[in-house]
Amino acid sequence: MRTTLTLLGALFLVTACATSSRTTPAERLEFYRANAGEPVRSFHSPGRLWGWRAIGDSALTVWTSSSRGFLLELAHRCPDMAFATSIGLTTRTSRVSAGFDSVVVRRSGVPGNRTTCRIDTIRPLNTRVVKESKRDLHDVELEERDPTIPDDPQ
């Protein structure tokens, strides 16, 4: 009985920690903004994205390769982004341009359901810093380290 209560207590503690430490879309957006360069007018589109991740309903990251990513901020909210199963990008001459091109959001199971959301700004990501981050932005809250605490506690 005591072992069961101990295990249940540990499970509750782990669940509470995991639930309370989720970052918000606003916090994730600030992380990516802090690790992005100055806005650019466009980028070369390889035709197929290596990956993407929605950041709330007004921004997303797109990866054209494993080492090249961009933060795209949209001109308006794109509420269908939360339900997207895939996205595409419109292009002109193999370039995705801020102010002209859009993110095309697709939802599976809904015939003909495509929403286009205009891209307002494009910023290249510092992929080295983003990749080196040991925090999973969806599960761990970003906190500043207290410089008075030693790196190697005894």
pLDDT in tens, 64-108: 998 899 999 999 999 888 788 889 999 988 899 999 999 999 887
**Which pLDDT score, from 0 to 100, does residue 18 have?**
45
Residue 144 has pLDDT above 60, yes or no: no
The shares of helix, strand and coil residues in the chain, as percent rounded to the nearest 5, are: 25, 30, 40
The span from the CA of 73 to the CA of 58, in Å, is 6
pLDDT band for position 38 (cuts 50, 70, 90): very high
Task: Identify the band that residue 152 occupies on the pLDDT scale cut at 50, 70 and 90.
Answer: very low
State the pLDDT at residue 127: 82
Q: Where are the alpha helices (DSSP H) in the chain?
A: 2-20, 25-34, 127-132
Contact 23, 138 (CB under 8 A): yes
Distance CA 145, CA 25 (A): 21
